[in-house]
């Protein structure tokens, strides 16, 4: 990079990456729990993709039964600390709280869940569940993200031997490698991984299926297989200059940030991020917190078309991010290093059959933004090549096709869940998929 942003002091980095939602004290947790109306129809529970019995776990906080509360949470969700800290609660449980309808502050469900799970992880971690006797069957799980972890935990309790094969050296999937550190630190993700290992799940890291070991070998070794491989690398922009030094993939950048050695992460003085999804917002906010002086989001559609949530948009605005809506990159400028990005303005036309508005380039609207770094955040490619020729497995629009009730693929022995079947949602969806797929696997193997 030609112009690297000045490094900050350790104190400044720690302040910039401090948690957005700090923990509750015991007194404030009990007081908050006592505000819960224990609604007869629990809209919060319905809004949670894992259907945690929210009002019950909250009631147990109010009666000082924290172990019982933890049990209620884990029963539905095997990665509850990550979800407590990183779920878009405004869109899910807290957004559905009846207090919102009354125009009042919703119950802080995320922070209450965090209070319970942190209390549990900081305790002797008494066994919360009875594990069924070993049934002599084994399941291979590919990927240790939330879907793989949830599937493994559930199957282990049901008496299966579970082995997770993970390509990375450090397990946890995007919980460990992707979620912004001001929401979730790596140590939190690894606590959940340890907990699941303590349930008897084996995790073999540094093993890439389709490379280190073939998918066929995994299928031969186990009675059933769960595929929870998430998505792959960032999608290419396909504009000239993409190969210049200073053009990076969002996930590569985020991975470096997640190492939490902020001083080692080089960021440009002026940074352009392409795309306006939640990943783009994470990247601009992270770049700003690392010391970038000016950060831009370049997005070819309008504000209403952004897939980023409103609260993420507000966060970026509070970090003084400049948004260029209806703008598209045409060329990245520079000889060896990025020196600028040439953009063109867009006029949006009619909506097509997918509901997306047509993109029309405004003639002679080119302009140049001088930048030192371009971060690509326009989506992720699919990473399931090793499944291409597997009998019965169907891949549509890059997503592995599964039965919506059992998560079984067209190959009876193979199940799948998480981002690789939904194209990229949230941790809580992956956690749910993994659990339900485990139940599908159990049913299938019972009948075998
Ligand atoms: C930058 C970013 C930020 C996000 N922030 C949030 C957030 O704040 N809140 C939220 O709820 N969601 C967030 N998400 C979404 C969330 O992280 C995902 O929906 C979730 O992690 C999907 O879980 P998964 O188990 O399907 O896949 P992943 O978490 O991607 O895990 C897949 C695992 O499979 C491994 N793997 C892949 N291929 C192979 C192979 N061939 N062999 C062995 N292992 C393999 C990978 O190394 C990885 O560990 C974010 C996503 C991104 C990209």
- Which CATH number covers residue 36? 1.10.1060.10
DSSP-derived letter for residue 305 is G
Q: Flag whether pLDDT at 224 surpasses 90.
A: yes
pLDDT band of residue 382 (cuts 50, 70, 90) is confident
What CATH number should be reported for the domain holding residue 144? 3.50.50.60
242 domain residue, yes or no:
no
Pocket test of ligand 1: the residue of 148, 173, 385, 388 to mutate, having most ligand atoms within 8 Å of its CB, is 173
Output the CA 148–ligand 1 centroid distance in Å.
10
Structural domain ending residue among the three candidates 55, 90, 121: 121
Residues 368 and 266 occupy one common structural domain: yes
Residues 316 and 417 occupy one common structural domain: no
Residues 273 and 299 occupy one common structural domain: yes
Pocket test of ligand 1: the residue of 82, 143, 418 to mutate, having most ligand atoms within 8 Å of its CB, is 143
149 domain residue, yes or no:
yes
What is residue 126's predicted lDDT score, i.e. its pLDDT? 87
Structural domain ending residue among the three candidates 71, 95, 121: 121
Residues 252 and 350 occupy one common structural domain: yes
Residues 182 and 289 occupy one common structural domain: no
Which backbone phi and psi does 287 adopt, to 5 degrees? Answer: -60, -45
Q: What is the mean pLDDT of residues 62-85?
A: 98
Q: What is the mean pLDDT of residues 59-84?
A: 98
62 domain residue, yes or no:
yes
**Tokens linked to 307:** 């897939």
What is residue 353's predicted lDDT score, i.e. its pLDDT? 82
Q: Whose CA is nearest to atom 6 of ligand 1?
A: 179
- In this structure, the residues whose C-beta lies within 6 A of any atom of ligand 1 are 86-87, 142-148, 165-168, 173-174, 178-179, 183, 208-210, 228-230, 254, 278-279, 282, 383, 418-420, 425-428, 430
11 domain residue, yes or no:
no
Task: State the closest ligand 1 atom to the C-alpha of 383, by its place in the atom list counted from 1.
Answer: 38
Q: Flag whether pLDDT at 384 surpasses 80.
A: no
Nearest of 390, 445, 438 to residue 214 by alpha carbon: 390
Residues 96 and 72 occupy one common structural domain: yes
167 domain residue, yes or no:
yes
Residues 114 and 69 occupy one common structural domain: yes
Residues 259 and 228 occupy one common structural domain: no
Residues 91 and 183 occupy one common structural domain: no
Condensed to tens digits (0 to 9), the pLDDT of residues 134-188 reads 999 999 999 999 999 999 999 999 999 999 999 999 999 999 999 999 999 999 9
Residues 272 and 352 occupy one common structural domain: yes
User: Which range, 12-16, 123-127, 276-280, has the best average confidence (pLDDT)?
Assistant: 12-16
Task: State the closest ligand 1 atom to the C-alpha of 165, by its place in the atom list counted from 1.
Answer: 43
Domain that holds residue 201: 138-232+382-447
Pocket test of ligand 1: the residue of 284, 427, 431, 434 to mutate, having most ligand atoms within 8 Å of its CB, is 427
What is residue 311's predicted lDDT score, i.e. its pLDDT? 87
Output the CA 170–ligand 1 centroid distance in Å.
13
What is residue 345's predicted lDDT score, i.e. its pLDDT? 97
pTM metric for this prediction: 0.95
What is residue 283's predicted lDDT score, i.e. its pLDDT? 95
**Tokens linked to 341:** 């990005």
Output the CA 143–ligand 1 centroid distance in Å.
9
Condensed to tens digits (0 to 9), the pLDDT of residues 81-95 reads 999 999 999 999 999
Residues 415 and 355 occupy one common structural domain: no
Number of domains in the chain: 3
Q: What percent of the chain has pLDDT over 90?
A: 88
Task: State the closest ligand 1 atom to the C-alpha of 380, by its place in the atom list counted from 1.
Answer: 53
Output the CA 262–ligand 1 centroid distance in Å.
22
Least confident of 69-78, 95-104, 373-382, 430-439: 373-382
Q: How far apart are the C-alpha atoms of 336 and 361, rounded to whole Å?
A: 28
3 domain residue, yes or no:
no
Task: State the closest ligand 1 atom to the C-alpha of 425, by its place in the atom list counted from 1.
Answer: 19
What is residue 232's predicted lDDT score, i.e. its pLDDT? 84
Output the CA 251–ligand 1 centroid distance in Å.
11
pLDDT band of residue 59 (cuts 50, 70, 90) is very high
Q: Flag whether pLDDT at 234 surpasses 80.
A: no
The whole-chain average pLDDT of the chain stands at 95
Q: Whose CA is nearest to atom 50 of ligand 1?
A: 179
- Identify the sign of the CA torsion 425, 426, 429, 435: positive
127 domain residue, yes or no:
no
The position carrying tokens 């079984």 is: 408
pLDDT band of residue 275 (cuts 50, 70, 90) is very high
Q: Are 224 and 400 in contact (CB under 8 A)?
A: no
Q: What is the mean pLDDT of residues 7-34?
A: 96
Task: State the closest ligand 1 atom to the C-alpha of 419, by its place in the atom list counted from 1.
Answer: 26
Structural domain ending residue among the three candidates 347, 376, 405: 376
Output the CA 86–ligand 1 centroid distance in Å.
13
Task: State the closest ligand 1 atom to the C-alpha of 251, by its place in the atom list counted from 1.
Answer: 1
241 domain residue, yes or no:
no
pLDDT band of residue 448 (cuts 50, 70, 90) is confident
Q: Whose CA is nearest to atom 3 of ligand 1?
A: 179
Q: How far apart are the C-alpha atoms of 188 and 175, rounded to whole Å?
A: 9
Residues 201 and 312 occupy one common structural domain: no
Condensed to tens digits (0 to 9), the pLDDT of residues 344-380 reads 999 999 888 878 888 999 999 999 999 999 999 988 8
The position carrying tokens 């209070």 is: 115
Q: Flag whether pLDDT at 243 surpasses 90.
A: yes
């Amino acid at each position: 990079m030609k112009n690297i942003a000045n490094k900050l002091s350790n104190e400044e980095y720690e302040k910039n990456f401090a948690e957005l939602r700090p923990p509750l004290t015991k007194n404030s947790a009990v007081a908050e729990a006592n505000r819960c109306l224990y609604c007869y129809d629990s809209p919060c529970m319905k809004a949670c993709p894992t259907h945690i019995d929210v009002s019950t776990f909250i009631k147990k906080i109010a009666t000082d039964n924290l172990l019982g509360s933890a049990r209620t949470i884990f029963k539905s969700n095997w990665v509850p600390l990550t979800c407590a800290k990183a779920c878009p609660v405004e869109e899910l449980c807290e957004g559905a709280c009846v207090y919102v309808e009354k125009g009042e502050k919703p119950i802080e469900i995320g922070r209450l869940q965090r209070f319970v799970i942190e209390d549990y992880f900081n305790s002797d971690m008494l066994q919360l569940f009875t594990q069924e006797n070993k049934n002599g069957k084994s399941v291979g799980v590919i990927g240790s993200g939330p879907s793989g972890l949830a599937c493994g935990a559930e199957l282990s309790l049901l008496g299966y031997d579970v082995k997770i094969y993970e390509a990375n050296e450090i397990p946890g999937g995007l919980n460990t490698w992707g979620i912004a550190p001001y929401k979730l630190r790596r140590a939190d993700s690894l606590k959940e991984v340890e907990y699941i290992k303590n349930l008897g799940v084996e995790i073999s890291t540094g093993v890439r299926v389709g490379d280190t070991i073939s998918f066929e070998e995994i299928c031969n070794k186990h009675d059933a297989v769960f595929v929870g491989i998430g998505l792959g690398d960032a999608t290419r922009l396909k504009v000239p200059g993409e190969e210049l030094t200073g053009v990076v993939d969002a996930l590569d950048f985020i991975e470096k940030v997640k190492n939490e050695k902020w001083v080692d992460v080089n960021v440009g003085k002026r940074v352009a991020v392409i795309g306006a999804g939640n990943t783009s917002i994470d990247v601009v906010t992270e770049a700003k917190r690392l010391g970038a002086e000016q950060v831009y989001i370049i997005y070819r559609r309008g504000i209403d078309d952004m897939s980023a949530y409103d609260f993420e948009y507000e966060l970026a605005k509070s970090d003084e991010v400049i948004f260029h809506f209806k703008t598209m990159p045409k060329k990245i400028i520079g000889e060896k290093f990025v020196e600028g990005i040439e953009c063109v303005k867009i006029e949006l036309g009619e909506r097509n059959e997918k509901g997306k508005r047509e993109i029309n380039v405004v003639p002679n609207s080119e302009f140049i933004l001088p930048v030192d770094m371009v971060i690509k955040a326009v989506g992720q490619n699919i990473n399931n090549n090793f499944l291409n020729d597997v009998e019965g497995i169907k891949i549509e629009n890059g997503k592995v096709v599964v039965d919506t009730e059992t998560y079984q693929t067209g190959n009876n022995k193979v199940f799948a869940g998480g981002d690789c079947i939904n194209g990229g949602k949230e941790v809580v969806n992956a956690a749910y998929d993994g659990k339900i797929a485990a139940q599908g696997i159990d049913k299938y193997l019972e009948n075998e």
